[in-house]
Amino acid sequence: MSTAEIVNLHDAVDFYDPEPERPEYHSIWSDKGVFSKYVVTLQFTGWVMGGIPQNPEVIEGWIRTKMIGKDADAAQIRAYVIKTMDELGMEVSPDMTMDELNAVAKRVAAEQHGNTFKRDALGFYLGDYQIKAALKEVTNILFAGERWGVTRKGPKSFLAERVYVDEQRIHLGRTEPDGVHLQIGHVTGPQGPRSTLTYVHYVDQPTVSFTVSSLHDLVTEDQWRQMFVLMQKSGIGALRSMGYGQFVVTGFEKVLDFKSTKAK
């Protein structure tokens, strides 16, 4: 069994404190005559990775559960734990007792971090800020050096002030992760090189929808197209540099034209 294995998580674990439910508030004015609105639908093509740090005590529990299983015999347990800790750069030896191996697991867990998703009563969700950040990033890549609008602002600042994601929470359709990815990295610190262990919750191929509001429809159709085409490759969520969080746009529908009706 490899330390880079992917394990499924089906137990209900209280790994992240859910945010409280809040009442909805409504403005006396509508967005009509101010914003055009588009409903965007994304189909993720692989894993979306969580990026919210979680309790190290939970990580310790996972290490104990996965490395020191309930049904394996003593020889299998010790061989796996010793092999794993050795690969992580920990000082272990074949004659260690189970208590000593437990102590090693606890020490590793105390030094490491695990990541998950934000969640509420409907399950895991991405935050509106993640979509907005992705839009700003690709805008800066595509259009840096240009000047947009009558104010002649840089495209990134122009978009930040004029494009908004309506939904604060974009739900992933899951109340628990589809699995946990064991990510092993390498860092160099005061004590020299060492391995790092990170558990990352993932959701596999979710479909999400959200609404973007564009002030006076100042972002053109072709600019939207270029931005989302690049976003498809750059992805959303954690570990994007490793290719996670990529998607295809399956829907981009204008549901409100700011010119079509007057404001209240």
Task: Identify which has the larger pLDDT, 86 or 264.
Answer: 86
In this prediction, residue 6 carries a pLDDT of 35
pLDDT of residue 236 exceeding 80: yes
pLDDT of residue 226 exceeding 70: yes
Indicate the SS3 state at residue 169.
Answer: strand
Q: Write out pLDDT tens, residues 148-170.
A: 999 999 999 999 999 999 999 99
- The model's confidence at residue 78, banded by pLDDT at 50, 70 and 90, is low
- Report field, pTM of the whole predicted structure over 0.75: no
Tokens standing for residue 138: 């690709």
- The model's confidence at residue 5, banded by pLDDT at 50, 70 and 90, is very low
For the chain, give the mean pLDDT. Answer: 80
Q: Write out pLDDT tens, residues 15-68.
A: 444 566 778 888 999 999 999 999 999 999 999 999 876 544 444 444 455 544
Mean pLDDT to the nearest integer, 235-263:
90
Q: How far is residue 103's CA from residue 24's CA, in Å, rounded to a whole number?
A: 48
Q: Read out DSSP for 90-159?
A: ----TT--HHHHHHHHHHHHHH-EEEE-EEETTEEEEEHHHHHHHHHHHHHHHHTT--BTTTTB-HHHHH
In this prediction, residue 168 carries a pLDDT of 92
In this prediction, residue 108 carries a pLDDT of 54
Residue with tokens 């971090």: 113
Topology at the third CATH level for domain 6-10+33-51+117-256: Alpha-Beta Plaits (3.30.70)
In this prediction, residue 214 carries a pLDDT of 97
Q: How far is CA 229 from the centre of its chain?
A: 19
- The model's confidence at residue 107, banded by pLDDT at 50, 70 and 90, is low
In this prediction, residue 81 carries a pLDDT of 58
Tokens standing for residue 188: 């160099």
Provide the β-strand partners of residue 163. Answer: 214
Task: Identify which has the larger pLDDT, 261 or 232.
Answer: 232
